Amino acid sequence: MLITKPNDVLSSEITPESVYLNRRKFVGASGSLLLGGALAACGKTEQAEAKVSEPPSDLAALEFSAVKKDAANPFYTTEALTPYADVARYNNFYEFGTGKDDPYKYASALTTNPWQVKVDGEVAKPGTYNLEDILAKNPLEERIYRLRCVEAWSMVIPWVGFPLGAMLQQFEPTSDAKYVKFETLVRKEEMRGQRSFSSTIDWPYEEGLRMDEAMHPLSFMATGLYGREIPKQNGAPLRLVMPWKYGFKSIKSIVRISFSKRQPATSWQQIAPHEYGFYANVNPEVDHPRWSQASERRLPSSLFEPNRIETRLFNGYAEQVAGLYSGMNLVRYY
């Protein structure tokens, strides 16, 4: 993967968090409510502030249950949220190009409605599912997770979505389903990175998990962030979020889910197996062959304020997930 500097983000575009945190208070108070309604209740000043700092209003406000703001809740963190402007303008989505702002610039070309997900392999209920039918069965909730990219930058993102395990169970995987694989849409007309002759990826982008990893309560399918539907550059309309793994496992714009007996081939592992493993668990003690993984730049970061912090084993989720790997050599199975 390429390593590049963060874009220069105008300070006027940053900082949704104060507004967002206020809005979360509204949601927390009533358990669950339409954020649009909460905004309407805001005073004039806050509305004005919201204009520069909020996700664009063409992204629909979502109805979801707010995360419980308890420091002991693994679905939450007290760390500062990464401003919306960084979350939505500093991206990896090679289907739209390899530059960090290519997805922001070009993902609007993607049609996300209608959207279907093909489910096949070792499963009792294979088929092609409409996104609305999946959403109807999976109530939305909020999770505030750290995202640690293998390129050694990180963010804290307030996602909206539902547990991956709950959705997978609805397809009724058989006892032969030991792994699950995900694929991103291939649509060259709309995804300019897929038309590029210099692309290293053999499309579709593919990722996979062991079934016990997929069923873990932290594993999440995101359909939104910052209280609104997920921007296209972040993987609309449906993307995986695996908070204890390097970001490349969190595959975007999913159109296919396949259950298998054997470990599936995945994009980055096929491109550079000595650099990117199947497990890709965040581990400060296992360096990437070309750079250290001991620390990370927490965005926003700049030359003068690099905001460098130490990387934690399993991205700080060891208490929840270390048991999945007990007895495994994490250096060998990187």
Enumerate binding residues for ligand MTE (CB under 6 A).
Answer: 1, 91-95, 147, 149, 184, 205, 234-235, 247-248, 250-253
Q: How far apart are CA 148 and CA 45, in angstroms?
A: 34
Q: How far is the CB of 55 from ligand MTE (least distance, A)?
A: 13
Q: How far apart are CA 159 and CA 182, in angstroms?
A: 19
Residue nearest to ligand MTE (CB): 247
Q: How far apart are CA 50 and CA 226, in angstroms?
A: 12
Give the residue from 280, 275, 95 showing the smallest Cα distance to 183. Answer: 95
Cβ distance to ligand MTE smaller for residue 94 or 317: 94
- Give the burial class of 222: count Cβ atoms within 10 A of its Cβ; 0-12 exposed, 13-18 middle, 19 or more buried: buried
Secondary structure of residue 72 in the 3-state scheme: coil
**99 phi, psi to nearest 5 deg:** -70, 150
Q: How far is the CB of 109 from ligand MTE (least distance, A)?
A: 15
Residue position matching structure tokens 């927490």: 298
Q: How far is the CB of 138 from ligand MTE (least distance, A)?
A: 20
Q: How far is the CB of 222 from ligand MTE (least distance, A)?
A: 9
The answer to whether residues 126 and 120 touch, using CB atoms and an 8 Å cutoff, is yes
Q: How far is the CB of 115 from ligand MTE (least distance, A)?
A: 14
Q: How far is the CB of 253 from ligand MTE (least distance, A)?
A: 6
Helices and strands in the chain: count of H runs, count of E runs? 11, 14
Cβ distance to ligand MTE smaller for residue 102 or 122: 102
Cβ distance to ligand MTE smaller for residue 39 or 242: 242
Residues contacting residue 32 through CB under 8 Å, at least 6 positions apart: 63, 64, 65, 66
The answer to whether residues 83 and 17 touch, using CB atoms and an 8 Å cutoff, is yes
Cβ distance to ligand MTE smaller for residue 86 or 122: 86
Cβ distance to ligand MTE smaller for residue 92 or 281: 92
Cβ distance to ligand MTE smaller for residue 234 or 315: 234
C-alpha dihedral, 193 to 149 to 83 to 51, nearest 10°: 20
Q: How far is the CB of 213 from ligand MTE (least distance, A)?
A: 16
Cβ distance to ligand MTE smaller for residue 27 or 280: 280
